[in-house]
Amino acid sequence: MEKTVKKRGGGGQSFLAGAAIISIGGFVSKILGAIYRIPLTRFLGGEGMGIYQMVYPLYCILLTVSASGIPTGISRLISSGKGAGAEKEAFRLYSAVGLIGTCIMFILSEPLAAIQGEPAISLCCKLLCPSVFFVSLLSVVRGYFQGRGNMLPTATTEILEQVIKVAFGIALSYLFRDNLALAVASTLLAVTVSEVLSTGIAAVWYLKGRGKKPLYPVPSVPVKSILHYTVPLTLTAIALPVSQLLESIVAVRLLKGMAENATSLYGIFSGCAITIINLPVSVCYGLAASSIPQISPLAESGDISGAKKKAYKSILITFIVSLPAAVGLFFLAPLATRLIFGSLQGEEKALLISLIKILAVSSVTQSLVQTSSACLTALGSPVKSTITQWTTAILRVGLTAALIAFSPLSIAGAAWAANCANFLATLMNFCYIIRVKSKKGGSADEDNSDRLRASQRGYNAESKGGA
Domain count, the chain: 1
Neighbours of 308 (CB within 10 A): 19
pLDDT over 90 percentage in the chain: 31
What is the torsional sign of CA 411, 68, 445, 374? negative
Please report whether residue 122 resides in a domain. yes
Among the ranges given (188-197, 359-368, 400-409, 457-466), the one the predictor scored with the smallest mean pLDDT: 457-466
Please report whether residue 215 resides in a domain. no
Report which DSSP code applies to 407.
S
Q: Which pLDDT belongs to residue 219?
A: 54
Say how many Å lie between the first and final Cα of the chain, rounded: 8
376-433, pLDDT tens digit by residue?
888 888 889 889 999 999 999 999 999 999 989 899 999 999 999 999 999 999 999 9
Phi-psi region of 10 (alpha: psi -120 to 50; beta: other; left: phi over 0): left
Round to whole Å and give the CA distance between 13 and 32. 25
Q: Which pLDDT belongs to residue 139?
A: 83
Among the ranges given (326-330, 345-349, 439-443), the one the predictor scored with the smallest mean pLDDT: 439-443
Please report whether residue 447 resides in a domain. no
The residues, any chain, with a CB within 8 Å of residue 127's CB and separated by 6 or more, are 185, 186, 188, 189, 192
Q: Which helix (H) or strand (E) holds 110?
A: helix 86-116
Among the ranges given (1-5, 15-19, 83-87, 294-298), the one the predictor scored with the smallest mean pLDDT: 1-5
Range of the domain at 59: 2-209+220-439+452-465
- Give the distance from CA 92 to its chain's centroid: 22
Threshold 0.75, pTM exceeds = no
Please report whether residue 445 resides in a domain. no
Please report whether residue 41 resides in a domain. yes
Please report whether residue 66 resides in a domain. yes
Please report whether residue 444 resides in a domain. no
- What letters, b where the CB count within 10 A reaches 16 and e where it falls short, cover 204-217? ebbeebeeeeeeee
Please report whether residue 137 resides in a domain. yes
**Banded model confidence at residue 2, pLDDT cuts 50, 70, 90:** very low
Of residues 453 and 426, which shows the higher confidence score?
A: 426
- Give the mean pLDDT of 161-166: 92
5-38, pLDDT tens digit by residue?
344 444 555 666 766 777 777 778 878 877 887 7
Residue 150 three-state SS:
coil
Round to whole Å and give the CA distance between 385 and 243. 16
- Give the mean pLDDT of 320-344: 89
